[in-house]
Structure 1
Amino acid sequence: HVRGAFTGAMQARQGAFVRANGGTLFLDEVDSLPPALQPRLLRALESRTVKPVGGDEEVEVDVRVVAACQRDLSLAVAGGQFRPDLYYRLSVLRVGLPPLRSRREDLPMTIRELLTRRGFYGGAGSERDVVIAGSNLERLIGYAWPGNVRELRNVLDRALALSPGARSFADLRLSLPGDPQGRSDDGELAVRTDLPYAEAKQELLDRFEARYLGELMQRCDGNISAGAREAGLDRKHLRTLLRKHGLVP
């Protein structure tokens, strides 16, 4: 926007297209772009120009656009939720990324990368020495990962937080949705009576949500719309809850 375009616009600010001029602009979750904004994106792609809010002149931009989505855009087009002309303009080159559950052979490499990014070498001297094997790996391979790599990262982060003295990957205390950990002997979620009331209540609610949502998305094969129908929740509210627990990006 230009300076003075609206209340509080004390100075001009470049938009994403202008900042990416001469380079690459990454648009994440383009499938969630509201219908009212889709024509604006299409116009920018077609004309290779943008107009700052409050400005009078078009600004030429030369940008390569990479767009990512969480669902098949062709289905969104068929359902009337995404403009077909914008879809065809974006889909010059399509690259499909299979879900993590269909790339289980990649799990050891992915786990090693995520752990070493957190500075965890498990007593090894370098990244290549970190051994990813054993029962912990078997548990991770057996899980469906509805939240893909983001969920895996959250599971590992939680394990690191719960295992301060871990000397190897095998020492990490892993916790997955549906695990018996955190349940009482009768199968119910255990209450942390060692915490203050408010904290215990919130901790129990968080574990309930994570377990419920994880199992829900497993049953629905990661389909948020199907999950929302089964759970009786608004789709947007379900997505918010899934993001809270790292089950979707």
Structure 2
Amino acid sequence: MRKMFILYFLIFFISAGRLIAAESPEELYVKANSSYEDMDYKKSASLYEELLRTDNISPGVFYNLGNSYFKLKKIGLCILNYERALRLDPRDRDIRQNLKIARSMAVDKISAPERGFILGAILFLYDRMTVNELAAMCSLFYLAVVLFLILSIKVIAKRRLMFYTAGSFGAVFFILFIFLSAKIGRENFTKTGIIVAEKIDVKSGPKEDYLLQFTLHDGAKVNIIKDVQNWYEIELSGDLKGWVPKPSVDII
């Protein structure tokens, strides 16, 4: 009985000690920022990572973590966290600018397909809005369509005007709905990753003894198209495909 009491006391003491030692997310964030300002980038990166493990996910934390890895010259992890920050806050100029700089420092220059002026203008809105924002806009335009259709029935004198207005809102709703569907598909059903290994050989199959296809370096962005045991099949723009070990890639 006495042994059980001592055991329970020790468990309680250890648990209480952990609770006392545990830092709040706000304290972790302040310590991480302070470490960054003191140029202790390894410590700041570790603290930002710890903050993310507590589910305190925000574009600011990802951005600061990316800055820490940039200072540590870990371009892959830097780009990875800038990409994650951009997904949460796609209109932030600082994130976009720093991501552009980091990409320019990557060894592999993988350029995206040319969009052209018209397509680029159309996709400007798509690139700079989150899923939640697009969903909210879709809802508003849908309600506007319904409202003006009702008015076209009720207000006989201005029926044609109300009907055409409903059609205009409907066209915008249709475009926004396509954007929303595409963004949901990209973020939830299409896996995109960043090479975080300094250098990795891309194989023709999911084993080390397969033929070497090509080589990638820290910071390359890839699409993940298949998952087999400890390997990913990846694809780059330009129809380049191959297999890499999972630890060499982090999913955005």
TM over 0.5: no
Higher relative contact order, chain-length normalized (CA < 8 Å, sep 6+): 2
TM-score, length basis structure 2: 0.23
